[in-house]
Structure 1
Amino acid sequence: MNSPDTSATFTCPEFLNMERAIIDEFVDCTTECHTEVEACVRALNQHGGPEYIHRMFRSMHSLKGNCQMVGLTPFKDLMHRVEEIFAQLRANPDQYFQELGDFLLMATDQIVDLLYELLKNGHADETRRALLAGVCETLRQQTAGGLRPEAFREAIEMLGGRAAEKISNDRGERVSLQLQDDFTLMRYLAEKIDALTVFRKDRNIRSVDMARELNAALGQIVDPRQLEAAVLMHDMGMAFIPHSIFNKETNLSREEIRIVQEHVQIGAQLLMRLGGWDEAAAIVLDHHERYDGSGYPNHKKAEQIHVGGRMLTIIDTFCSITTERSDRSYKKSLLSAISEINANIHTQFDPNIVGAFNDVVRSMMMRSS
């Protein structure tokens, strides 16, 4: 198998060799900074206000400092060039115009994209990084005598013009309402749920893949389309949980537990409303039932629980352990998940399905190695 061409890439071994917990913390901080920049650009485009300019500057300066701390020199240099342009706006906040905000959002978007590419592949596109650096340098020279919208329009075009598309609603363009097919809508909603926290990144995609393999290992005992719909929608009700409960660090009260448990009913009812997804709704409703009858919402046990629900509860537990914590390595998390699942057969999980699940995970490990 040929090795990928890395002649036009860059890498940052100092960063990539750091402890996983430090890398995860850096990614978390980067996501917060990126979200803050986007929120500030939207606010500036809608109603302005110098406070948003100062907030955006703090976020960008924090991101640059974090890059320096973890040895991401190519990113630190990029952030410095962007920050130089932004310093002119900070000194003259009344000169803000939408093209400037579009460019700043695009620049930070591309920096974050390069970072995730580096984390995924161990190297990232040097051509793209150099283009962004060159555009920033040209902008710095062109705006030395003052900020001009046409200079930023040209810069956006050189970078592909995607920032303008990303916040097109702020330009007053009409939004066309088109009825999507059910799967397109469900995948879209699942992506929104995964975007609520960095620890859920691509979780629903992985869950769908795992459910598909587990179903195949069991001889397709559940309709594949109904199962995929259930996986995509099973946590949809979590979007309606108040943040004060969702982020609470102490024990939940009895009423708060009841509110959290309602998410299975919400997901099931949404599927029923779509029509044609009755089996998927039953799977969602049952995915927190336990094999010994101590689950919720109906305290079903063993064969009373929909077989898809028995499958989904195993997958959900596995993904919770392997994706929602940043203080341990992937292999340790995977083995911990398998150990916990196997330790709870007959109480929480169907032993027959656990056996097939073990084979699926073993195949995953073999492929990854």
Structure 2
Amino acid sequence: MATKQLTPEIIDPIAFQDFRDALSDYAPQLEQLVCQLEDGSGNEEKIAQLFRILHSIKGDANLCQVHFFEPYMNVLEHLLDRVRHKELPYLDVLGDVLLLVMDRLVLMLDAVAEDLPLDDLRMDALRIRLEPLLEKKPEDLPQACAWLVSSMMGQAPSVPAPTQEAGNGHGGHRFADLQFFRSLAAQLEQRLPAFSGRTERNLALALETNRLSERPVPMEQLAAAIYMHDIGMMLLPESLWLKAGNLSVEDRRQLSAHPGWAAGLLERMPDWQEAARMVAQHHERPDGSGYPDGVRDGAICPGACVLALVDAFESVMLKHAQQGQRRSMLRAVAELNASERQFDSYWLQLFNQVVRTRLELGSVVGGA
């Protein structure tokens, strides 16, 4: 099934705005259904509702002459139709694809409305990666979907997606490991409601920053580090996480141990040594004032530098959340730059570019 590429343009301004208004109603309904289907029930009625929403979006796009939506909606509708007819199972990772595509389409619609450039949205790359999903066998679809999501959130590696290769001990297990790491991060988020969505926001920021680098770190290693960097906190009393006011010396000693516990787990698993180093060093600082080892400057690995930035940014965003999305983003990036000695200057400049682009596009952090 071949899709066609159409140049984004506004043919009928009134109809275009009508479609934007309709999509603003459809998008949260779609997101809610995807979240409900994460319980693994494969509820047929919810799947049918999801299909009807996609079908309605596609029909409205055609009616309102927003034809550049068609290539993306054709693929999503066809995939859901196969799920509906039990040719494919419904999988969480398929839901991830649906949300990713819809998020990008909403951003594209906003950018077209405001006559903004579309390059950073990488819509052509998304279309090229999306279409092959139509031909995937059920057993190959989960990995293909995960690869699409990962490649769109950051720089796709020059090697193919990992495959199950018998006996070599490499590649095939990494996808399963990443899913395990992600599940641990989700458990941590459940224990702290304020952390809801934090992992995916951090991952999106980290991979976007990494994509801008002339010397990017391996995407899978960075993703693993994002998922795992605070897992050691689960071994500490929750009262310590939530403690208000100044921390005692003993409190700080306990908190400083959490990167080592998560890093230790990664070190003991095949192929995750680089991610382990990122986790172990993400609280180190170029001036040597960080912990746990007081590592300085170039001795801190690049992935840890990226992780330190997104972790600090999320913390400041949370602190200023009551001020609204845009204002809290501005406050957070300002605080990071005011504390620039705490961060690697090369990666800080790239991170600034990512945040600036999001502010210009009016994007919500993490693509939410």
Alpha-carbon contact 2:321-2:328 (below 8 Å) kept? no
Alpha-carbon contact 1:203-1:323 (below 8 Å) kept? no
Q: 1:235 aligns with which of 211, 230, 251?
A: 230
Alpha-carbon contact 1:199-1:324 (below 8 Å) kept? no
Distance 1:270 1:244, change over 3 A: same
Q: Deviations over 1:41-86 (max 9, x none)?
A: xxxxxxxxxxxxxxxxxxxxxxxxxxxxxxxxxxxxxxxxxxxxxx
Alpha-carbon contact 2:207-2:219 (below 8 Å) kept? yes
Q: 1:298 aligns with which of 293, 297, 305?
A: 293
Give the CA deviation at 1:350. 1.1
Give the CA deviation at 1:343. 1.1
Identity %: 34
CA distance in 2, matches of 1:245, 1:256: 7
Distance 1:336 1:312, change over 3 A: same
> What is the count of residue pairs matched by the alignment?
201
CA distance in 2, matches of 1:326, 1:335: 11
**Secondary structure of the residue that 1:228 maps to in structure 2?**
helix
Match for residue 352 of structure 2?
A: 358
Alpha-carbon contact 1:214-1:357 (below 8 Å) kept? yes
Give the CA deviation at 1:220. 4.6
Give the CA deviation at 1:7. 12
Tell me the amino acid that sits aligned with residue 265 of structure 2. Answer: L
Unaligned runs of 5+ in 2: 1-15, 29-105, 107-172, 364-368
Tell me the amino acid that sits aligned with residue 343 of structure 2. Answer: F
TM-score with structure 1 setting the length: 0.51
**Secondary structure of the residue that 1:249 maps to in structure 2?**
coil
Instruction: Check if 1:367 corresponds to 2:335.
Output: no
Q: Give the greater-gyration-radius structure (CA).
A: 1
Alpha-carbon contact 2:232-2:261 (below 8 Å) kept? yes
Alpha-carbon contact 2:189-2:198 (below 8 Å) kept? yes
**Secondary structure of the residue that 2:323 maps to in structure 1?**
coil
Q: 1:340 aligns with which of 335, 338, 352?
A: 335
Match for residue 262 of structure 2?
A: 267
Alpha-carbon contact 1:291-1:302 (below 8 Å) kept? yes
Unaligned runs of 5+ in 1: 12-120, 122-178
CA distance in 2, matches of 1:318, 1:261: 19
For residues 1-369 of structure 1, the aligned pairs below 5 Å read: 1=16, 2-5=19-22, 181-345=176-340, 347-368=341-362
Give the CA deviation at 1:6. 8.0
Q: Deviations over 1:14-66 (max 9, x none)?
A: xxxxxxxxxxxxxxxxxxxxxxxxxxxxxxxxxxxxxxxxxxxxxxxxxxxxx
Tell me the amino acid that sits aligned with residue 357 of structure 2. Answer: S
Distance 1:336 1:230, change over 3 A: same
Alpha-carbon contact 1:268-1:281 (below 8 Å) kept? yes
TM-score with structure 2 setting the length: 0.51
Give the CA deviation at 1:273. 2.2
CA distance in 2, matches of 1:271, 1:204: 17
Alpha-carbon contact 1:182-1:274 (below 8 Å) kept? no
Q: Deviations over 1:129-158 (max 9, x none)?
A: xxxxxxxxxxxxxxxxxxxxxxxxxxxxxx
CA distance in 1, matches of 2:22, 2:354: 33
Alpha-carbon contact 2:230-2:262 (below 8 Å) kept? yes
Tell me the amino acid that sits aligned with residue 234 of structure 1. Answer: H
